Amino acid sequence: MLGILQSLKNEQGKTAVLFLIGMVILAFLLHPKTSPFAEPYYNFKAETQLTQLYSSCSLVWAAGGQHNTSSANKNKKGSATECDLATAVLKPYNFLPDENVVITIKDGSKSGFSATAKHKKGTEVIAIGADGKKIS
């Protein structure tokens, strides 16, 4: 009986050690400075920002550029053909820019829309076209 209890203690100790080793490996892989997945993640964040910008610009184009700038000056008429960051962040369009992603709109028109983004920690400059899809 004592031998069985002793072997159970040894098995539980091995399990705990294996669990701790697994946790250390997982922490290493998930830590931003040591993770092999960090660069693709940052590039993906830049691409996501562009997709969200395109969605906001679609709302700008659909609304004809009308937006509320203040309660005193409701429905100020804006440009129906151009989308820029200043307009996309306004309340009805709700684009939330990430401070770590640098976005440049090259053409804000609906038919020729073109924008690029690069995350400060990423390695790629991501570009999207007038269809809202990534340009390779």
| Same domain as 130, residue 114 | yes
Distance CA 134, CA 93 (A): 21
Mean pLDDT on 20-49: 82
**Number of domains the chain is built from:** 2
| Same domain as 32, residue 42 | no
| Same domain as 53, residue 15 | no
| Same domain as 117, residue 66 | yes
| Same domain as 114, residue 89 | yes
| Same domain as 72, residue 47 | yes
Kindly write down the DSSP assignment for every residue of 65-90, as one continuous string.
Answer: T-B---SSSTTB---SSB--HHHHTS
| Same domain as 93, residue 80 | yes
Domain containing residue 51: 38-135
Which pLDDT score is estimated for 5? 47
Q: List, for residues 36-58, the tens digit of each pLDDT value.
A: 777 888 999 999 999 999 999 99
Q: List, for residues 75-126, the tens digit of each pLDDT value.
A: 444 445 799 999 999 988 999 999 999 999 999 999 999 999 999 999 999 9
| Same domain as 55, residue 9 | no
| Same domain as 32, residue 50 | no
Distance CA 71, CA 83 (A): 22
Which pLDDT score is estimated for 98? 96
E strands present in the chain: 101-107, 114-119, 126-128, 134-135
Which pLDDT score is estimated for 12? 64
